[in-house]
Amino acid sequence: MLLSAEHLTKYYPLRASIFSRARACVRALEDVSFRLPEQHSLGVMGESGSGKTTLARLLANLIAPTRGTLSFSPAISDRTKDIQIISQNPWEALDPRMTIGQSLKEPLIIHRMNDIRDRLRRSLDLVGLDRHCLNRLPHEFSGGQRQRIVIARAMSCGPKILVCDEPTSSLDISVQAQILNLLLDLKEQQKLSLIFITHDARLLPVISDSILVLHSGIMVERGPREAVLNKPLHPYTRQLMTLSKLHEKPQAARGAGGAGCPFWQVCSLKKTECSEHLPEIVQISPEHWVRCCHFL
């Protein structure tokens, strides 16, 4: 196992001002556990507000978990180097005042890498950009090219895990196909593991080997790709899967927070106890887990 996450939980404190005490918390992520083997890609699926980005930031060590642990195999010696993140918005990920060359060099200098030049050239080759772009500024590039530059920067220190936080949601459909193909190629050639976060279930059959579904920060289902896509167990996952076939009309969606199951208000299978407490997560088959009272 390259990485294993146990009961990852993140609460954000709510304060009236930065000097006052936290009066309440926002539950961004609650009890998420998974393992990531080598050369594996985990698709994380959920709506906006489901805690997808919080999970990405926890994995990339940008924030610390409130509870729970992340443990790594010895292959990952330096988290900041071996886990790289690709953010959603390539317009904000690059400093507008730095040339592409400067942006790409920065992580290499921070991690005290030698042969910076070689690494730069190799990472540009990986993403299919040519060397002339090094002296140019981010505004001279299109969205797809910028996302390539961000990927080149992430790849330059030779990471083991790439956390992709909706890398294509702001790109148009042909560019999306190019970037996804690039990520798939990188995964195969560079023996990378991917954590691919998305709200578009249509991408999951290709990009992910296993799938984790989040709803309001709670992991509702996790399992191998075929099982989750073809035989989803949790009612919420079922609804997401029908939604990806755009011609079918979904039922009213979304539930509200509270102590119970996050989906109980709109769930077609709800029982009375669903509103009162969160069901424990249940193992259905060796790799398939679901959090729903019907499987207890």
List residues near other proteins by CB under 8 A. Answer: 47-49, 142-143, 169-170, 172-178, 180-181, 184, 199-203, 205-206, 240, 243-244, 246-247, 249-250, 253-254
- SS3 of 238-283: HHHHHHHCCCCCCCCCCCCCCCCCCCHHHCCCCCHHHHCCCCCCEE
Q: Give yes or no for a contact between 225 and 70, defined as CB atoms under 8 angstroms apart.
A: no
Residue 110 or 257: the one with the smaller Cβ distance to other proteins is: 257
Other Cβ atoms closer than 10 A to 262: 24
Residue 77 or 169: the one with the smaller Cβ distance to other proteins is: 169
Residue 52 or 119: the one with the smaller Cβ distance to other proteins is: 52
SS3 119: helix
In the complex, minimum distance from the CB of residue 266 to other proteins, in angstroms, rounded to a whole number: 11
- Helical packing angle, 116-127 and 100-110, nearest 10°: 120
In the complex, minimum distance from the CB of residue 197 to other proteins, in angstroms, rounded to a whole number: 12
**Can you read off the two tokens belonging to residue 274?**
């669903």
Residue 18 or 64: the one with the smaller Cβ distance to other proteins is: 18
Residue 120 or 203: the one with the smaller Cβ distance to other proteins is: 203
Residue 3 or 240: the one with the smaller Cβ distance to other proteins is: 240
CA distance 263 to 283: 19
In the complex, minimum distance from the CB of residue 47 to other proteins, in angstroms, rounded to a whole number: 5
In the complex, minimum distance from the CB of residue 49 to other proteins, in angstroms, rounded to a whole number: 7
SS3 4: strand
In the complex, minimum distance from the CB of residue 174 to other proteins, in angstroms, rounded to a whole number: 4
Residue 51 or 107: the one with the smaller Cβ distance to other proteins is: 51
Work out the widest C-alpha separation in the chain, in whole angstroms: 64
By CB atoms closer than 10 A (0-12, 13-18, 19+), residue 109 is exposed
In the complex, minimum distance from the CB of residue 180 to other proteins, in angstroms, rounded to a whole number: 5
- SS3 of 158-186: CCCEEEEECCCCCCCHHHHHHHHHHHHHH
In the complex, minimum distance from the CB of residue 245 to other proteins, in angstroms, rounded to a whole number: 9
By CB atoms closer than 10 A (0-12, 13-18, 19+), residue 101 is middle
